[in-house]
């Protein structure tokens, strides 16, 4: 019973991380007009926030099986959570577009690790 409960909790935890990754991937698009005004940049530059996130995530996802064989699931989960937290804080407190982009890229790392880990655990 205890092992079953642990498995369910791990699925909920990694599922939540994956869900948050998908939400922040798409939710930023509604902020584009405000970001263009705040940073005085064109839409083509603001678009890099989504493109960079998805690019990094997409590059890491194919390595999910390798990462899962090389590292324990809990280690990968911790790296993903820490990356997500650091990226979110950096993106949330910065007043520089470059640092905002860096925060989004760090969040992409978390998503790239978290999605394949979720499928592996399930």
pLDDT digits (tens, 9 = 90+) for 85-118: 999 999 999 999 999 999 999 999 999 999 999 8
Spell out the alpha helix ranges (H) of the chain: 2-27, 32-39, 43-46, 48-60, 64-70, 73-93, 97-121
Instruction: Provide the residue count of the chain.
Output: 122
pLDDT (tens digit, 9 = 90+) per residue, 10-68? 889 888 888 888 888 888 889 999 999 999 999 999 999 999 999 999 999 999 889 99
The pTM assigned to this predicted structure is 0.89
Cβ-defined contacts of 35-40 (< 8 Å, 24+): 35/97, 35/100, 39/97
> d(Cα 78, Cα 84) in Å, to the nearest integer?
10
Residue 1 has pLDDT above 60, yes or no: no
Q: CA-CA-CA-CA torsion for 57, 59, 64, 70, nearest 10 degrees? A: -120
Q: CA-CA-CA-CA torsion for 83, 55, 11, 64, nearest 10 degrees? A: -100
């Amino acid at each position: 019973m205890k092992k079953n409960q642990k498995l369910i909790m791990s699925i909920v935890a990694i599922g939540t991380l994956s869900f948050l990754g998908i939400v922040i991937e798409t939710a930023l698009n509604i902020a584009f007009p405000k970001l263009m005004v705040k940073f005085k940049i064109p839409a083509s530059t603001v678009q890099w926030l989504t493109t960079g996130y998805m690019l990094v995530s997409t590059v890491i996802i194919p390595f999910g099986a390798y990462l899962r064989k090389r590292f324990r699931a809990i280690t990968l989960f911790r790296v993903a959570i820490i990356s997500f937290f650091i990226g979110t804080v950096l993106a949330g407190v910065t007043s520089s577009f470059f640092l905002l982009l860096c925060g989004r890229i760090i969040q992409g790392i978390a998503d790239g690790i978290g999605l394949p880990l979720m499928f592996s655990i399930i």
